[in-house]
Amino acid sequence: MTADPSFSNLLAAASRGWCARTCDEGVLSLALPLDEVDPLYNLPLLADEGPFQFLWDGAPGLCFAAAGQCQSLDLAGPRRFELAQRFSDTTLARLTDATPNAPAQARPKVLLAFSFFEHPAERQRSHTCTPAVQAVLPRWQLSRQGKYGWLRLNGVITQQAEARELAEQLWLMAENLLDPNHNSKFFWPSNVRGTTALQPWQKCYRPALERGLDLVNNGELNKLVLAVRQSIQLQTPLDPLPVLARLRKQQAGSCRFLWRRSHENAFFGASPERLLSLQRGQLRTDALAGTADPNDDGQKLLKSEKDRREHELVVTSITQQLCNQGLTPRRPRNPQLARHGQLVHLHTPITANANGHTSLNLANALHPTPAVAGLPCREAMAWLRTLEPFERGNYAAPIGWIDTSGDAELRVAIRCGHIRNSVLDLTAGAGLVRGSVVETELQEVGLKLSVLADQLELRTQAQPKLTSQRPMT
């Protein structure tokens, strides 16, 4: 441990926190500096007290792991962004932070995972449906930025003795994480096997693509982003953490994430697309649309009239939504290239002064972007319900966090998979505009599905891969 993390000082902080509480039953938050500890590899140590796990791996930027639930909220409906913001504000305002001088990376955070649609389709309504929004104040939070790290524990206290117990638990966990005899490295399973459904995903997806192109070519829609799901029956259990460890190397420009509700239910991926970040009142969002073919280093993409037009539709829509909120967005004149593993995209960063808007108010205005739905938005969303024979769930929806200062980051949950018991669902989509070709879109979706499939090293039986194999690094 670094700085001055003596146990006596920790007890004194817990005592001050108890005295500073504003209600008889409140949340006390304690933190300790803890350097040189990787949250990704140490998440299993935090997860002993409950099934909930969260990972946000933006390394070399902010990386943090969380486990257990101190307070939580699940809800549905059209006011979900507003109610999630209210829950976050109220929860963090009532929390007593006994380590108020901790750096930004160590602030207490409310974790958020939205579904794509605010309500599930009628055909999918059941107790297994993904909530429209899940919000969690975690019990444990382990963060790292650069070489500097912090461990935080949140707990409900009703008497002073519980404040001391919280300090003792935090101290003990810190000792466990620093134990040189503790080996938290993953052992990669060599026997991961899976078989796809008997009917290849291309056969089901092709008719939807053809209908979507008809809608675009006849002018009913300007853009439609159709998704496809590849379901894999796993023959052995799959832990997503080793997958995310590999993705850290393979998808360094993306943000790896995990939302695990139980041992049998885990949503994970590596998102290249920022819905928004809010830091000290400054907003940033990204337009990411247009994908190079496998043989293009990006130069053809930059010159492609079809891809530039698709990209500009997204940029224009995002800037218009921000203008509608009274903001003055700024953008570069021309898009840049963004490489994420084998995939190269057109990318335009968009910034603005938030002018007092909360992060989830802005997220409500931006979601869904045309990069994951289409234009016009309402009509595109209705067609997605018709043409996609599955429920999107968390796919292409916001996932991220809000901290006690109001800073936040939300990613668009793409390049992702969802494990339910022994079934792994991989989901990816392609944007259709005038000039799109069915065969090209099939190839693009195959590349996106392979972001996870290639890391898993699955041996699938029902279909050939659409991508060339590249060695793992």
Report whether pLDDT(20) > 70: yes
For the stretch 85-113, pLDDT in tens is: 999 999 999 999 999 889 999 999 999 99
- Specify whether 83 is located in the same domain as 150: yes
- Specify whether 320 is located in the same domain as 173: no
Q: Is residue 334 part of a domain?
A: yes
- Specify whether 121 is located in the same domain as 256: no
- Specify whether 275 is located in the same domain as 397: yes
Q: Is residue 191 part of a domain?
A: no
Mean pLDDT, to the nearest integer, of 248-253? 86
How much of the chain exceeds pLDDT 70, in percent?
A: 88
Question: What are the C-alpha distances in Å from 16 to residues 96, 103, 403?
Answer: 10, 19, 22
- Specify whether 173 is located in the same domain as 204: no
- Residue that finishes a domain, picked among 128, 149, 178: 178
- Specify whether 136 is located in the same domain as 250: no
pLDDT, position 221: 95
Q: Is residue 193 part of a domain?
A: no
pTM: 0.91
Question: What are the C-alpha distances in Å from 236 to residues 195, 200, 239, 422?
Answer: 11, 21, 10, 8
The continuous run of DSSP H or E covering 175 comes out as: helix 160-178
Q: Is residue 265 part of a domain?
A: yes
- Specify whether 108 is located in the same domain as 19: yes
Q: Is residue 225 part of a domain?
A: yes
For the stretch 203-214, pLDDT in tens is: 889 999 999 999
- Specify whether 97 is located in the same domain as 208: no
Both tokens assigned to 258: 């995990």
Rounded-to-integer distance, Cα 252 and Cα 250, Å: 6
The continuous run of DSSP H or E covering 110 comes out as: strand 109-114
For tokens 């989830």, what's the residue? 360
Number of domains in the chain: 2
Would you give the end-to-end CA distance of the chain in angstroms? 32
For the stretch 299-308, pLDDT in tens is: 888 888 888 9
Kindly tell me the number of DSSP H helices and DSSP E strands found in the chain: 11, 20
Task: Tell me which long-range contacts 11-20 makes (C-beta under 8 A, separation of at least 24).
Answer: 11/164, 11/167, 13/98, 13/99, 13/167, 14/98, 14/163, 14/164, 14/166, 14/167, 15/160, 15/163, 15/164, 16/98, 17/96, 17/97, 17/98, 17/163, 18/157, 18/160, 18/163, 20/96, 20/98
Q: Is residue 125 part of a domain?
A: yes
Task: Tell me which long-range contacts 216-220 makes (C-beta under 8 A, separation of at least 24).
Answer: 216/432, 216/433, 216/434, 216/436, 217/434, 220/379
- Specify whether 246 is located in the same domain as 301: yes
Rounded-to-integer distance, Cα 456 and Cα 449, Å: 11
For the stretch 405-430, pLDDT in tens is: 999 999 999 999 999 988 999 999 98
Of the candidates 464, 472, 471, 466, the residue with the CA atom closest to the CA atom of residue 445: 466
- Specify whether 170 is located in the same domain as 204: no
The residues facing 34 across adjacent strands are none
Q: Is residue 461 part of a domain?
A: no
For the stretch 303-351, pLDDT in tens is: 888 889 888 989 999 999 999 999 999 999 988 988 877 778 889 999 9
Length of the chain: 473
Domain hosting residue 387, numbered range? 199-456
pLDDT, averaged across the chain: 87
Taking the CA atoms of the chain, what radius of gyration do you get in angstroms?
23
Q: Is residue 358 part of a domain?
A: yes
Rounded-to-integer distance, Cα 142 and Cα 168, Å: 17
- Specify whether 144 is located in the same domain as 266: no
Known catalytic residues are 223, 273
3-state secondary structure of 132: coil
- Specify whether 169 is located in the same domain as 205: no
Query: How far, rounded to the nearest angstrom, does the alpha carbon of residue 370 sit from its chain's CA centroid?
Result: 18
**Residues near 33 by Cβ (< 8 Å), separated by ≥ 6?**
1, 2, 3, 5, 148, 149, 150
